[in-house]
Structure 1
Amino acid sequence: MNTLYNKEPEIRINGKDREIWAGYASIAAELRRKSEGQAKTVLAIECYPGVRLREIEEGIRLHMPIEAVFHAEDAAIDAERREAKMSRYLTDDRVFGYMAPFTVDEFYDESKLERLRERIERVSHGLVVIIGFGASLAAEPDVLAYADLARWEIQQRYRSKENGNWLAGNADEDLLRKYKRGFFVEWRMADRLKQAVLPRADYYLDTNAKDRPVMATAGALFAGLEQAAAQPFRLVPYFDPGVWGGTWLEKHIGLEPKPHPYAWGFDGVPEENSLYFRYGDIRMELPALNLVFFQSAHLLGERVVERFGAEFPIRFDFLDTVGGQPLSLQVHPHKAYIREHFGMAYTQDESYYMLEAEDDAVVYLGLKEGIDAERMIGDLEKAQQGGFTFPAERYVNAYPAKKHDHFLIPAGTVHCSGTNGMVLEISATPYIFTFKLWDWDRLGLDGKPRPVHLEHGRKNISWERTTAWVNDNLVDRVEPLGEGDGWTEERTGLHELEFIETRRHWFTGKVPHHTQGTFHMLNLVEGDEAVVESPEGKFEPFAVRYAETFIIPASVGAYTIKPGSGSRSGRLATIKAYVRS
């Protein structure tokens, strides 16, 4: 078991230990201090959708008197108008919508807001709390707090049916539809509001753990973000069971056994992963997206920001089929298609790096020569209707896969991982845009057929990507680039159609790297432990272990990687990804 893998990586923040409070008693004491000497204090608690509003209200009230509480959502437009606004962007599809351009004020009634402000104004003394998603619209507060939580925690609340979507009353609805509403509408709107409100907030409130809030001054939060964007760091990983899951993650990372095996491991997806900031004895969890939003240039680099905006365009994740089943046969949309149909600016180009592989591991990639496209689509349609098994190997190449092989998968290429592979997936970020073509005659963990999007898929298959083209363009494209004292560098892809550059370094000594004005995302794919250092002493030495993904911000500039003291193997290797110039 690889117990060295750190499942709870932290960033220790310097100099702000006195600007953080854990638990409602300590938070209330700080709020009392903040309001001392004032006859009336208006506290606005702006919230990300999914925050437990009642818990916050009751938790504060338990430790300090509150004269009045107002709920921002009382001023929202009615349900019929909300649904009419959202319907075009939600669509009838179970999985896919269209990226919505809304801001939160579009869902509030100005006359209701004005009446709410008048009610707040009529309270003459004491602590007055306005809380909810949109609370900052309802008052000019004396104290402004922002209550936040991570995307993964939101999804857990969807799954447990504790929460539905914002004002939707749909806690019991299909999980995929709840996720779709969050992804395409709510989270986009909430992220725009966060970017506007948080820089003027007094406090930041971490509400991820039930009844265990953590509050920091906004100054302490932003100091932490600034520090994180100047040093190597890791995201907080999470792991999820799936119908095709394997045994590698549980065995080698030391995960709690589940009734269904782990299929996915996410330790390099800033849109969904968290960060842990450690201030003295208190740990605070925050969405990694906060770093992307508020330290864009230092983290991503100006060239990447100019191209993608405040988005982290690369992700690393794990796909575990060791002792499990194949992934669904799938294809990703072309750039023009994803832009036209879903409102995304770029598409899900990707690759499979084989972190581990059993002797019989395969990757399905590209189409065989001379196949009949209409016959293949006809067979896929019959398989979707049931009673017919799609003959995948009649149409799709199956390549033997061994450890350290790298398979390139530009959008439009039919592909999936077969059984007995442990894949490090290196991908562009719009990661829900997978068009399943066939799912090997199985049901999802919910007992329902997993969604197949054959109509989208057939319009995006690049039929010319057959065996000869795949062999020339997508398999075994290793190009030696250079070497030094104790290291060699190779280019392993990606294809010219993709914007991600990947480099592999084999090393027994110290390897020089430089960000060249863009972020680097890396994984230690061989060896027990490596250490990242700054030649200029900009940051403390940073240790990484086998299979850990880590990020080097653009602002770091020069850095080195060398074998760590805990490394028992001779030769180590990293795979590095960045945005190609």
Structure 2
Amino acid sequence: MRNKKPYIEVQSQSRSCWEGWNKIADALNSKIKSLRSRKIIITVECYQGTYEDINLRELKKRLPVNATCTSRDVFKDEDEITRQCTKDLSRMPFSASASTHDIEEYFDQNKLQALRQNIEFIEEGIVLIFGVGASKICIPDILVYADMSRWEILQRFKRHDVSNIGVSNSQAAFEQQYRWSYFIDWKICDKIKKQLLSQCDYYLETNNWEKPKLASGEIIREAILQATTQPFFTAPFYDPELWDQRAAEPREEEFSWVFNCVAEENNVLFKISECLIEVPSINVIYAAPKKLLGETVYNHFGSELPIRMVFIDTLDGTQEKLFACPGIDYLKDNFGFYLSQCETFYVMDTTAEAKLRMGFKKSIIPEDLKSLLNKDNTISKVALDKLLNSILLKRHDHINIPAGIAHSHGNNSMILKISAAPEIFTFKLPDDLLELDESSRSLYSEEVKKLTSNILSSGDIDSRYYNQATPLTTAYREEILNQKGDLLNIKRMWFEEPILQKTNNCVQVLNLIEGEEAIVESPDGQFEPFIVHFAESFIIPAGISEYTIRPSKKNKAYGVLKISI
């Protein structure tokens, strides 16, 4: 993957993006002066996970603020917010309820009324209101939306840098904060985001708080609309959490996960006025859902892209963790989620003795799960060999993994995992089961049984789920890789000449699985030629009716995966 900063260039007639706190303050001070008003209210609405204290401090240093307040000033007591939220998460990891709360439910009405009166009494000067829910306190004269990538939020959780909304829990376990955010905080913040993307005067990006970027709301809206008219990448990133924890200094090529198309966690990069600004991919979906997804996908799934591609790189190490995906009834009954968590593993590359574990050979009891762990909490290879089937992997093999089947992520391989449901609905074995105390294990015995009861023989795997690579060919050939009834339509195409594809007004996600470089082009010139390299995933919005994929070299086999709904 060569294109480490895939961006969309957005033309602007005037200065509309600024980098660094000093230039950001210059832009805001210029806006303040242009209003020519005795009293100006500046509201900075924040997504959960921003460094609120740091960002507020940097702004106050540089703006002529006369009064400052934060949304935290009007929140209910922490204990009350904790009680309100934890009842929705009390059965995690096996069950949770997605929040239907609004941020106003976090407000203490007496505190809110007192703050509004205090703001009303101020007759002259600059009032700065800051935080999650700040836009709900009073009507601003200048509205700044401070956004945050979910990927960066997850990294801050791992570093114990930030808390969930309304509580001080930065030292809590990563999984606890992640689940709290997924089911509660992000639902609340996304409601606000959907309202403000079309209204904000400025958009503030602080994924790197030391190099913040500010863009006008107008140029961000133009950029988002531009993204729906052309193919685009989501910016790749690397998770520095190695499966091999012995490495002292992680190197980029060792990183085990590369999320290449996960809309809710990836960003889209825009180049505006020589600034590169990161915008969460979900902003494009929220702002223009039908243009990106198409009518059919939007009518079935709303503002969500149910196609997720994750690279799992174990070429230089062995990843021996196990996972299991619950069935659709389990997800519906326990999480209110209506997508099946089936997965397709496509083998992009291998080294010697690459293999994947899949399916228990026999019924599993709790003692078997305990035997999976060595004394140092690593996975026991002896136990894996005893309990699970092994599949030897070759490049261009693909494996369909239905819900309820325990499996590993392979070793000595580069796998492209394709799924419809978010990663949070995949259970880790035995981690998620053994983290429970004895009483909880008894309480959730049925859940454990549902995740571990399916048994597979090697014959079942070979005949139903494991599909060996077919010989490469330069002649055009299409192959359907998904199983009958699957939500995702996964098509593999081999070619050596340009091929014409139609979207039928439905979003598509593609990955170049063979060939060094290909060019995606519009037959009618709707977009500029778009260059894609081996193993890069890219999105074709529904608004593009047709496109061609042209090999960069002649007389050579090229392959592409195309995923649609």
Instruction: Tell me, yes or no, whether TM beats 0.5.
Output: yes
| Alignment correspondent of 2:467 | 476
Give per-residue Cα distances to partners, 1:169-215, cap 9 Å, x unaligned.
12222222122211121111111111122222211111211232212
Pairwise CA distance, 1:60: 2.8
The answer on whether the counterparts of 1:365 and 1:398 sit within 8 Å (CA) in structure 2 is yes
| Alignment correspondent of 1:433 | 425
1 CA distance for matches of 2:253 and 2:216?
A: 41
| Alignment correspondent of 1:11 | 8
| Alignment correspondent of 1:183 | 182
1:554 corresponds to which of 542, 545, 550: 542
1:28 lines up with 2:21 in the alignment: no
DSSP-derived class of the 1:25 partner: helix
2 CA distance for matches of 1:298 and 1:259?
A: 35
The answer on whether the counterparts of 1:149 and 1:207 sit within 8 Å (CA) in structure 2 is yes
Give per-residue Cα distances to partners, 1:367-403, cap 9 Å, x unaligned.
54xx4x2xx3355244268679563344433222100
Pairwise CA distance, 1:454: 8.1
Listed as ranges, the matches of 1:417-428 within 5 Å are 417-428=409-420
Listed as ranges, the matches of 1:264-279 within 5 Å are 264-279=257-272
The answer on whether the counterparts of 2:17 and 2:273 sit within 8 Å (CA) in structure 1 is no
The answer on whether the counterparts of 1:300 and 1:554 sit within 8 Å (CA) in structure 2 is yes
Pairwise CA distance, 1:355: 0.2
Segments ≥4 residues shifted beyond 6 Å: 385-388, 477-480
| Alignment correspondent of 1:411 | 403
| Alignment correspondent of 1:448 | none
Pairwise CA distance, 1:125: 1.0
2 CA distance for matches of 1:365 and 1:429?
A: 20
| Alignment correspondent of 1:57 | 56
| Alignment correspondent of 1:493 | 481
DSSP-derived class of the 2:4 partner: coil
1 CA distance for matches of 2:368 and 2:562?
A: 37
| Alignment correspondent of 1:463 | 454
The answer on whether the counterparts of 2:326 and 2:425 sit within 8 Å (CA) in structure 1 is yes
Pairwise CA distance, 1:258: 3.7
Listed as ranges, the matches of 1:98-497 within 5 Å are 98-244=97-243, 257-258=250-251, 261-368=254-361, 371=362, 373=363, 376-383=364-371, 391-438=383-430, 456-461=447-452, 463=454, 465-476=456-467, 487-497=475-485
Indicate the larger mover: 324-333 or 237-246: 237-246
The answer on whether the counterparts of 1:352 and 1:426 sit within 8 Å (CA) in structure 2 is yes
Q: Structure 2 regions of 5+ residues with no counterpart?
A: 436-443
Pairwise CA distance, 1:7: 1.2
Q: TM-score, normalised by structure 2?
A: 0.90
The answer on whether the counterparts of 2:342 and 2:403 sit within 8 Å (CA) in structure 1 is yes
The one-letter code sitting in structure 2 at the alignment partner of 1:144 is: L
RMSD, aligned CA? 2.8
| Alignment correspondent of 1:447 | none
1 CA distance for matches of 2:14 and 2:510?
A: 31
Listed as ranges, the matches of 1:36-51 within 5 Å are 36=33, 37-51=36-50
Pairwise CA distance, 1:351: 0.9
Indicate the larger mover: 191-200 or 546-555: 191-200
Pairwise CA distance, 1:536: 0.9
| Alignment correspondent of 2:557 | 571
The one-letter code sitting in structure 1 at the alignment partner of 2:351 is: E
DSSP-derived class of the 1:290 partner: helix
The number of residue pairs the alignment matches comes to: 547
Identity fraction in percent? 32
2 CA distance for matches of 1:244 and 1:22?
A: 36
Q: 1:17 to 1:561 in 2, by over 3 A?
A: farther
The answer on whether the counterparts of 2:481 and 2:492 sit within 8 Å (CA) in structure 1 is no
DSSP-derived class of the 2:311 partner: strand
Q: TM-score, normalised by structure 1?
A: 0.87
Q: 1:398 to 1:116 in 2, by over 3 A?
A: same
The one-letter code sitting in structure 1 at the alignment partner of 2:281 is: A
The one-letter code sitting in structure 2 at the alignment partner of 1:542 is: F
DSSP-derived class of the 1:188 partner: helix
